[in-house]
């Protein structure tokens, strides 16, 4: 299993799961949900019926969901080839916003760091190479740009579809939580932990 995939998936599941009463945060008691206004339909572990037709969502297991995420968003976004922190940020964006949007936002974040790149949503060898170059100078600057662009993306969704405004607070809280999760793995956080 990819080394950073388990921790990244744990972050995603923290935001994607609904639990049976009295079993919060226990992945053995995740239940399906069907949120009014959510076009995904029946969802469990964040895996929805709209994107996975024919899949038995109510009886989906954690192992099945793990394989779907690993073979889907994680692999499609080449997260194994992305630096720590950026891999989780891109993966979570792909899960919540789609693989193409995650690629576009990553490439826009690269451009915001002053590096030329084609913004086409495809995280291929060129994008991977430019990410490595950017990270030699400012990995955390790239992550900051990526998170801000994601916040703006949510704001743009609500501008285009005001009925989605009810979800905005939750979306932004998720990005804030992601920021804290990624910051906790930063060298500065590790240094503080050692000297504390």
- Summarize pLDDT for 130-178 with one digit per residue, the tens: 999 999 999 999 999 999 999 999 999 999 999 889 999 999 999 999 9
Query: Do residues 31 and 56 touch, judged by C-beta distance below 8 A?
Result: no
Q: Which residue, 146, 181, 171, 175, is CA-closest to 7?
A: 181
Residues near 159 by Cβ (< 8 Å), separated by ≥ 6?
none
pTM of the model: 0.91
- Domain extent listing, the chain: 5-184
Q: What is the pLDDT of residue 161?
A: 93
Q: What is the pLDDT of residue 45?
A: 97
Query: Phi-psi region for residue 121, left (φ > 0), alpha (ψ -120 to 50) or beta?
Result: left
CATH superfamily placement of domain 5-184: Chitosanase, subunit A, domain 1 (1.20.141.10)
Would you call 33 helix, strand, or coil by DSSP?
Answer: strand
Q: What is the pLDDT of residue 39?
A: 75
Q: How far apart are CA 112 and CA 51, in angstroms?
A: 31
**Token pair for 108:** 């826009």
**Token pair for 83:** 């630096």
Q: Kindly give the residue spans of alpha helices, DSSP state H, lying in 41-85.
A: 62-69, 75-76
Q: How far apart are CA 193 and CA 175, in angstroms?
A: 23
Q: What stretches of the chain adopt beta strand conformation (E)?
A: 43-44, 47-48
The residue behind tokens 């744990």 is 10
Would you call 159 helix, strand, or coil by DSSP?
Answer: helix
Q: How far apart are CA 194 and CA 196, in angstroms?
A: 6
CA angle, 33 then 36 then 39, to 5°: 85
**Which parts of the chain sit beneath pLDDT 70?**
1-2, 186-196
Query: Do residues 136 and 169 touch, judged by C-beta distance below 8 A?
Result: no
């Amino acid at each position: 299993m990819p080394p950073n995939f388990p921790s990244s998936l744990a972050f995603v599941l923290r935001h994607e799961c609904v639990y049976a009463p009295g079993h919060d945060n226990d992945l053995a008691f995740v239940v399906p949900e069907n949120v009014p206004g959510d076009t995904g339909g029946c969802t469990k572990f964040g895996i929805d019926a709209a994107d996975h037709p024919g899949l038995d969502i109510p009886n989906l297991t954690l192992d099945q969901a793990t394989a779907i995420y690993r073979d889907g968003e994680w692999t499609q976004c080449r997260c194994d080839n992305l630096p720590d922190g950026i891999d989780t940020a891109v993966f979570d964006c792909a899960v919540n916003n789609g693989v193409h949007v995650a690629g576009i936002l990553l490439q826009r974040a690269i451009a915001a760091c002053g590096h030329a790149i084609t913004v086409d949503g495809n995280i291929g060898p060129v994008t991977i190479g430019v990410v490595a170059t950017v990270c030699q100078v400012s990995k955390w600057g790239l992550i900051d740009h990526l998170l801000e662009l994601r916040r703006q993306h949510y704001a743009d969704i609500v501008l285009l579809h005001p009925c989605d405004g009810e979800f905005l607070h939750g979306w932004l809280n998720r990005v804030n939580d992601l920021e804290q999760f990624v910051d906790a793995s930063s060298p500065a956080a590790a240094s503080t932990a050692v000297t504390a």
